[in-house]
Amino acid sequence: MTINAQATIGQMVTERPSRARVFERVGIDYCCGGGKTLEAACAAKGLQTGSVLAELEASDAARGSEAVTDWEAQGAGALADHVERTHHEYLKRELPRLTALTAKVAAVHGPSDATLVELRDVYATFAAEMMEHMMKEEKILFPWIRALASGQAPAAHSPICSGIKNPVRMMMAEHEDSGAALEKMRELTRGFKPPPQACNTYRAMLDGLAELESDTHTHVHKENSILFPMAVKLEEALGAR
């Protein structure tokens, strides 16, 4: 796919995941906002489309060929498995660790910096919602995607027998909420930058939150821009038989 102003952000990152670094650097949302064209995304951020195009082209040229998994060839079931093994397992390990760190930093430094108390609370809500979100995907949506990938029609008792589009929309709405929470955490921490007096626990918390943001953006991109559209197409194809 040629990089151009009318290509969507999600399409560009799907084709070459390294482009995500450019979008992160300029503050363009490539996960929840992956459906926007580059032109629209730049306009919303007050960026020059031509400048971002130049950065993308330079990034592509610097990296040369890039190994990209063809998820269309691998199949929706394989991608659902990958998301669980890679991103869900990461969250299950990391969320409790960051819960402890944000609580500790708020307790020690919160009396002199109220933003750290707010950060703890925003993070706690985010973590609880992500755990519930993953449970719904693992118990309901992903098994149904695997069934579609194997050519099975919905069972009469299926909670989504009326179609997969509704739960997909629900998951995408929850992705929007998680994206807003991550944006708020970035704002409260001034871009996850430690102040000069930050202790090692404070620095570890910021490092963990920055990694959490990066992984969640990649995670959501894979679902919103690749997995969910694949699932909808599978269902439509099955219904057309």
Are residues 231 and 139 both part of a single domain?
yes
Residue 47 is part of which domain span? 9-63
Write out pLDDT tens, residues 157-195. 455 557 899 999 999 999 999 999 999 999 999 999 999
Query: Most distant CA pair in the chain: distance in Å?
Result: 65
Instruction: Give the pLDDT of residue 61.
Output: 87
Check whether 241 has a pLDDT greater than 60.
no
Are residues 157 and 95 both part of a single domain?
yes
User: Exposed/middle/buried for 39, CB within 10 Å: 0-12, 13-18, 19+?
Assistant: middle
Instruction: Give the pLDDT of residue 16.
Output: 87
Check whether 85 has a pLDDT greater than 90.
yes
Instruction: Give the pLDDT of residue 156.
Output: 43
Q: What is the mean pLDDT of the chain?
A: 91
Write out pLDDT tens, residues 105-163. 999 999 999 999 999 999 999 999 999 999 999 999 999 999 999 988 665 445 555 78
- Report the C-alpha gap between 40 and 132 in whole angstroms: 32
Asked if the structure places residue 1 within a domain, the reply is: no
Instruction: Give the pLDDT of residue 130.
Output: 98
Are residues 127 and 220 both part of a single domain?
yes
Quote the number of domains for the chain. Answer: 2
Return the number of other C-beta atoms located less than 10 Å from residue 54's C-beta: 13
The residue among 20, 56, 232 whose CA lies nearest residue 141 is 232
